Amino acid sequence: MAALWESFTLCGLGPSGGVGLGGGLLALEPGPDPDHVLLTDRGRTATLFKVSDQKPLGCWSVKHGQIITCPVVCNFETHEYIAVHNDKVLRIWKNKDINLDKVFKATLSADIYRIHSLPNGGPVVLFKGGAVRTLDVLLEAPQQAIENIISDEVIKWSEAFMGGLQPVLIFVTEKDGDFFVYVQKLKMNSLDKYKLEQQELSKPLSFTAYMKNQIITLLCLYSNDSVYKVLIPLLQNTEEEEQILSKSLLLNLSVSGSVLKGTSFVVVDKDHIAVLGTLAASGEESKECLTIWNTKFQTLQTSKELPLGTSGQLWCYEEKFFFTHGKVLTVTMYKCETSSLAAAVGKLKDSQTPDVSSFVNWNTLGDE
C-alpha cells in the first residue's frame, strides 16, 4: 500500500520557473546533508535549502551575462559545490564563499553535459560529446583534449552509480529516431554501447535507472503510456559493436478507462514507481496528477490532483517528492509498505507492521 502524506511549500519560483514543459527548475540535487537539497534555476542562481525548515542556507549567482548550464552539485568528499556556466567554465566554492566571481575557476576545452556527484566516488563529468572524466583528472589539466565519442548523437539523459568500488556512468543518446545506451566503467576505462530496441509508433519520453547486484535496470517511459524495463548486466563484455537491448513491459499507465499521459517518473522502491502526468478519461477534463503505481500487481495505488499545473518535473529524496505546482516548489511526503496483493488492492489491515523499503538517493536498491 502506498500513501501520499502532507505537502508543504519549500520556496517560490522565479519568472522562469512557471508551469509547462521548459519551465520549473534546471534541477534539484541532494545537498551535503540528508535534509538539504540544492536547487539550480534556469538562469544564474543556485540555492541550498534545509527541507524541514523550508529555510535557504546559501544562495550563489554567477554574474550578469553568464548562465548556469548544468545542475549545480555537491562534492560529498570535500563539501564543496560545483557549477558550470556557459557550457565549459567550472566554478568550485565552499559554503562561506559569497561572490562566485572570486572563487576557483577552470575553463575546459569542451562543453559539459552534466556533472554527477557520488558519495564515495567523487564527481564525474560527462561531456556533450560522450567523453567522461573524473573531476580530479580534469583539474590536473583543464585544457586537456576531450575526445568526441558519439558524433551526431545527442545526449538525452544520464545517471551515475557506484558499481562495487568504481563509478559507473550510463547515458542515453538519440539520432534520427534511434536511441542508444552507453555504459562507462571509469576505473576499467571500459565503454559499452547498445542500441535500444525500437517500439512501433512510440518513443521514449523519460528515463530513470537503478543498480542492484551488478545489474543496471533502465526504466523507460514511452509515449504509448507505458513503462518498459531494460536489464544491462555490468559484468558482461560486449564483443559486438552495437548490441540490441531488448525491453519488457513493466506497467501500462491506465486504470478504469483513464490513461495517464506521463511526463516524468521516479523509482520509489522495488515494487513502486511514481509518475507525474495528466490523467485523461473519455468525456472528462484532463487533470495533472502525481501518482504512485504498484508494478508488481499493476495497480494505481494513490494519486494527488495538481490543479495549478506543473513543469512536468519530479524528484524523489528521503521519502519526499519534489515538484513544481503553480509558482512554488512543493514537497510531498509518502510511505510505501509491503507489496502483498491485499495491500495492492487497498485491503491490508492498518494494524499490520509495514515493511518499508525507501529508495535511496543513489539509485542502488539493497538486497531483497
Question: In a 10 Å sphere around its CB, with 0-12 CB exposed, 13-18 middle and 19+ buried, how is residue 363 labelled?
Answer: buried
Phi and psi at 342, nearest 5°, equal -60, -40
| 172 and 270 together in one domain | no
pLDDT value for 16: 67
| Positions in the chain whose pLDDT score sits under 50 | 347-368
| 17 and 109 together in one domain | no
User: What DSSP line would sit under 260-310, residue for residue?
Assistant: EEEEEEEEEETTEEEEEEEEEETTS--EEEEEEEETTTTEEEEEEE-TT--
| 119 and 221 together in one domain | no
pLDDT value for 355: 34
pLDDT value for 121: 82
Out of 99, 134, 149, a domain closes at 149
Its sign, for the CA torsion 227, 230, 234, 238, is negative
Query: Regarding beta strands 272-281 and 287-294, do their DSSP bridges make them parallel or antiparallel, or are they unpaired?
Result: antiparallel
> How many angstroms separate the CA atoms of 368 and 358, rounded?
12
| 246 and 348 together in one domain | no
Residue that has been written with the C-alpha cell 517511459 in this structure: 221
Q: How many domains does the chain have?
A: 3
| 248 and 196 together in one domain | yes
Q: Please, what is the Cα angle at 34 between 17 and 365, to 5 degrees? A: 100
How many other β-carbons are positioned within 10 Å of the β-carbon of residue 332?
A: 19
| 197 and 243 together in one domain | yes
pLDDT value for 350: 39
Contacts of 283 (CB under 8 A, 6+ apart): none
> How many angstroms separate the CA atoms of 188 and 328, rounded?
44
| 18 and 39 together in one domain | no
Out of 123, 149, 175, a domain closes at 149
Out of 252, 281, 299, a domain closes at 252
Range of the domain at 352: 1-22+254-368
Q: Domain of 39: which CATH number?
A: 2.130.10.10
Contact of 183 with 236, CB cutoff 8 Å: no
| 164 and 135 together in one domain | no
pLDDT value for 361: 37
Report pLDDT digits (tens) over 165-182: 889 999 999 999 999 999
